[in-house]
């Protein structure tokens, strides 16, 4: 599983929900907000439990990772405050906009700064392990009614949809094939080409 694509899929999903939030009204707006809250809570748990700890030690990603933790704290505070409302008023609308702007800033910084630096800082093995761990954790946290395999399939499906929307499907596919060839040919000689395909 591609670690970056999994996180980007979450980002695209939340972007779509924020667009829905803007056009919704009344109870529908609260319902859409609750979906955003659920998505963001799962996403932040994945990052804080698995992704960020792997990026705290490398000097290239250390500062950005600490900043990301702080940005998460701001988002969590806003989510708590917004979730207290039963109906959206002007103050709630303003706070929801601040939440959206904070999330958009965080996503932009992650995708344009943290991910490229993480790509250089992580070995192929670390990168693959991160992706597998995040996929398994996300599947575990999704509906307890589904079987483990169908949960994994639903995670892969959402990542695949996001990859199509962002035009990264081919990139992810080439990364997967280079990873397989890297395994069969051994780590020497192919590590550089595998890392290049991740960028």
Tokens for 132, please give them: 């597998």
Residue 65 has phi, psi (to 5 degrees) of -70, -45
For residues 115 and 95, what is the distance between their CA atoms, to the nearest angstrom? 28
User: Is 78 part of a structural domain of the chain?
Assistant: yes
User: Is 185 part of a structural domain of the chain?
Assistant: no
Q: Are 1 and 156 in contact (CB under 8 A)?
A: yes
pLDDT, tens digit (0-9, with 9 covering 90-100), for 20-79: 999 998 889 999 999 999 999 999 999 999 999 999 999 999 999 999 999 999 999 999
Instruction: Note the pLDDT of residue 92.
Output: 95
CA distance between the termini of the chain: 15
For residues 174 and 50, what is the distance between their CA atoms, to the nearest angstrom? 24
For residues 121 and 123, what is the distance between their CA atoms, to the nearest angstrom? 7
7 alpha-carbon distance from chain centroid: 2
pLDDT, tens digit (0-9, with 9 covering 90-100), for 85-116: 888 999 999 999 999 999 999 999 999 999 99
Residue 163 lies in domain: 3-169
Q: Tokens 């109870």 sit at which residue?
A: 27
Instruction: Note the pLDDT of residue 178.
Output: 43
User: Is 199 part of a structural domain of the chain?
Assistant: no
Q: Name the domain count of the chain.
A: 1
Q: Are 68 and 160 in contact (CB under 8 A)?
A: no
pTM: 0.73
Instruction: Note the pLDDT of residue 55.
Output: 96
């Amino acid at each position: 599983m591609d670690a970056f694509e999994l996180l980007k899929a979450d980002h695209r999903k939340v972007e779509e929900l924020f667009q829905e939030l803007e056009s919704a009204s009344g109870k529908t707006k609260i319902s859409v907000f609750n979906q955003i809250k659920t998505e963001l809570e799962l996403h932040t748990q994945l990052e804080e439990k698995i992704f960020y700890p792997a990026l705290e030690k490398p000097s290239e990603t250390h500062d950005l990772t600490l900043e990301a933790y702080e940005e998460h704290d701001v988002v969590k505070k806003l989510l708590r405050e917004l979730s207290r409302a039963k109906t959206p008023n002007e103050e709630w609308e303003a706070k929801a906009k601040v939440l959206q702007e904070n999330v958009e800033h965080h996503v932009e910084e992650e995708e344009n700064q943290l991910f490229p630096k993480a790509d250089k800082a992580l070995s192929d093995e670390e990168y693959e392990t991160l992706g597998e761990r995040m996929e398994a954790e996300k599947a575990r946290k999704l509906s307890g009614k589904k079987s483990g395999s169908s949960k994994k399939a639903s995670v892969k499906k959402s990542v695949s949809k996001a990859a199509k929307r962002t035009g990264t499907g081919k990139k992810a596919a080439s990364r997967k094939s280079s990873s397989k060839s890297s395994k069969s040919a051994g780590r020497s000689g192919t590590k550089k080409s595998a890392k290049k395909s991740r960028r």
